[in-house]
Amino acid sequence: MNTYKNMLIAETIADVRAQVREWKAAGLTVGLVPTMGYLHEGHTSLVDAAAAQCDKVVASVFVNPTQFGPGEDLEAYPRDFDRDCGLLEEHGCSLVFHPSVEEMYAPDAATYVEILDDMPKQLCGKTRPIHFRGVCTVVSKLFNIVTPDKAFFGQKDAQQLVVIRRMVRDMSYGIEIVGCPIIREEDGLAKSSRNTYLNAEERQAALVLSRSIALAKKLIADGNRNAEVVLTAMRALIEEEPLAKIDYVSAVDGYNLQPVEGLEPGTLVAMAVYIGKTRLIDNFIVE
Amino acid sequence: MNTYKNMLIAETIADVRAQVREWKAAGLTVGLVPTMGYLHEGHTSLVDAAAAQCDKVVASVFVNPTQFGPGEDLEAYPRDFDRDCGLLEEHGCSLVFHPSVEEMYAPDAATYVEILDDMPKQLCGKTRPIHFRGVCTVVSKLFNIVTPDKAFFGQKDAQQLVVIRRMVRDMSYGIEIVGCPIIREEDGLAKSSRNTYLNAEERQAALVLSRSIALAKKLIADGNRNAEVVLTAMRALIEEEPLAKIDYVSAVDGYNLQPVEGLEPGTLVAMAVYIGKTRLIDNFIVE
């Protein structure tokens, strides 16, 4: 294995297994932070949480092809592994797993983990029908390779977090899933690797997502509990922005992702909005 | 946890996890033998192999509903847990996991592990379209609960063994799959829990399966390498038995289960034959 300062770099499944086996034999706990790389403070906050809760932190950097649909941004997805290594090491990551596509998927690989109710078809699943099957599959593989005690995911990808919790329960994984808060730029934009796609004008326009959340929170604080009233106000605000095109703005049950009429504590209010050609997501949970 | 003599009996996932954690902390290896109970010498040979190769043996006894299709024998499937406990303990099993359906599947459980190429649709999959999805799902769950070093499966369920090896590879499980030979009655009938369904006349008729295998082996030993010639002879022999009705008699590649024309070392010759209402399977691998 290569190293970057104090951090190990593993490119093979066998190397990860051997290292984790050694740590477990020494009685150490392991936290997993799965990422697609091009890391930002959202990712490093997951590494921080893992380092605080586990003896050793494994981060994966892998742009997983099975979660991208035809016409999505698999090839364009930003990559900078050297920079990622610097950030991971700085935040206390013990090992970064950086496999090739060939290491993760045999040419005839055909096994998938999929939730066969309509949870993965809600929200982002409406326009990304194979996305969560790919996510469940690659996360299961990472669980099986790393066998962590805990795994850390951002609340930014709200549907992903709900889907993974369900998958972990249904598949009886003995792994604690830790959800971590959304990290935002100072002006409110949720951190995302895809923010790099935005030009200056789009970067400014992208603030409609977080501004619509601020509006919704104010309406709810003022006593509005009707989902359609609040969602309509959010959509109107977003539609004022010429560069924005709504994919969805929805209020759903935070456990099963079914649409709700009333905004209760635990309701997930989530959106996907195109800013130019860039699809951004954001969300909040009603308190 | 209850015990039977020297063996632990766990009915909950949590109890299995806690016990396995203790064993692993002590540096012990764990072998898993998944069964649906009503054990015979085929199963106990798996326990023997596991006890020979691992420090601790976990057997599961669970009639898994997700691998039975509509109209199949889920309710009728024979059960005798007390007798199973006696056999397991006698063969050196350390812990038997005997969960309820409710312990294994939440009411809204919907996550499945499935091989999405045509491997599960060959052979038994032609008439049992959801069977191998259920098998992959429950075996994955057992892997995640028990986290064994090795898992033991019988060659009797040849397609299951091939499917599980593929699933383990695709899903990156760090578990060695050990296939164990078919165990037969003295007269040649492959041991099966479903043999209990046969009346005396059917029991005699069921010998056509192993007799057709003996015929095939003789034809191959005599130099016949054309699959259709050998399969035709096997089918003709089986069709002479009035109580027998062929589901399939096939020769397939032992790795991907695609039909083959020539019988090569590693070719799987497999069959499913109804004897009365009882569906029996048998197979051999060309040497």
- Residues A37-76: tens digit of each pLDDT: 999 999 999 999 999 999 999 999 999 999 999 999 999 9
Taking the C-alpha atoms of residue A136 and residue A167, their distance in angstroms, rounded to an integer, is 7
Taking the C-alpha atoms of residue B252 and residue B260, their distance in angstroms, rounded to an integer, is 5
Largest CA distance in chain B: 58
Q: For residue B167, what pLDDT is reported? A: 98
Mean per-residue pLDDT, A225-253: 98
Q: For residue A230, what pLDDT is reported? A: 98
Query: Position B86: which residue type?
Result: G
Q: Are residues A197 and A59 in the same domain?
A: no
- Residues B234-251: tens digit of each pLDDT: 999 999 999 999 999 999
CATH number, domain at A41?
3.40.50.620
Q: For residue B89, what pLDDT is reported? A: 98
HSE-up (13 A, CA, CB side) for residue B7: 23
CATH number, domain at B275?
3.30.1300.10
Give the distance from residue A170's alpha carbon to the nearest chain B alpha carbon, in angstroms.
6
For residue A186, is it within any domain? no
CB contact under 8 A, A110 and B104: no
Q: Are residues B250 and B164 in the same domain?
A: no
Q: Are residues B25 and B128 in the same domain?
A: yes
Q: Of the candidates A129, A148, A180, which is a domain's last residue? A: A180
To the nearest 10°, the Cα dihedral for B213, B215, B216, B217?
Answer: 90
Mean per-residue pLDDT, A258-280: 97
Q: Are residues B160 and B70 in the same domain?
A: yes
User: Active-site positions of B?
Assistant: 43
Q: Which of B27, B112, B115 sits opposite A110 (nearest CB)?
A: B115
**Nearest residue to B65 via CA among B9, B10, B131, B111:** B131
Q: Which residues of A touch B (CB under 8 A)?
A: 13, 17, 24-25, 27, 104-106, 108-117, 119, 136-137, 140-141, 144-145, 147, 166-167, 169-174, 256
- Residues B52-86: tens digit of each pLDDT: 999 999 999 999 999 999 999 999 999 999 999 99
Q: Are residues A169 and A41 in the same domain?
A: yes
Q: Are residues A47 and A161 in the same domain?
A: yes
Q: Are residues A238 and A161 in the same domain?
A: no
Q: Which of A17, A104, A114 sits opposite B112 (nearest CB)?
A: A114
The model scores a pTM over 0.95: yes
Query: Position A62: which residue type?
Result: F
Q: Are residues B141 and B199 in the same domain?
A: no
Say if CB A259 and CB A236 are below 8 A apart: no
| Partners of B4 in the β-ladder | B7
Q: Are residues B153 and B210 in the same domain?
A: no
CB contact under 8 A, A104 and B171: no
* Closest-approach residue (CA) in chain B for A26: B25
For residue A185, is it within any domain? no
ipTM of this complex prediction, to 2 decimal places: 0.96
Q: For residue A102, what pLDDT is reported? A: 98
Taking the C-alpha atoms of residue A71 and residue A250, their distance in angstroms, rounded to an integer, is 24
Q: For residue B75, what pLDDT is reported? A: 95
CB contact under 8 A, B114 and A117: no
pLDDT more than 70, % of chain A: 100
How far, in whole angstroms, is CA A157 from its chain's centroid?
4
The residues of chain B scoring below 70 in pLDDT are none
Residues, chain B = 287
Q: What residues have CB less than 8 Å from A49, skipping those under 6 apart?
A: A31, A152, A178, A180
Q: For residue B123, what pLDDT is reported? A: 97
Per the structure, the complete domain to which residue B51 belongs is given by 2-180
Q: Are residues B89 and B146 in the same domain?
A: yes
Three-state SS for B150?
strand
pLDDT more than 90, % of chain A: 100
| φ, ψ (nearest 5 deg) of residue B196 | -65, -20
What is the rounded average pLDDT for all residues in chain A? Answer: 97
Q: Are residues B117 and B69 in the same domain?
A: yes
Give the distance from residue A197's alpha carbon to the nearest chain B alpha carbon, in angstroms.
33
| φ, ψ (nearest 5 deg) of residue B112 | -130, 150
Residues of A in contact with B13 (CB under 8 A): 172
Count of domains in chain A?
A: 2
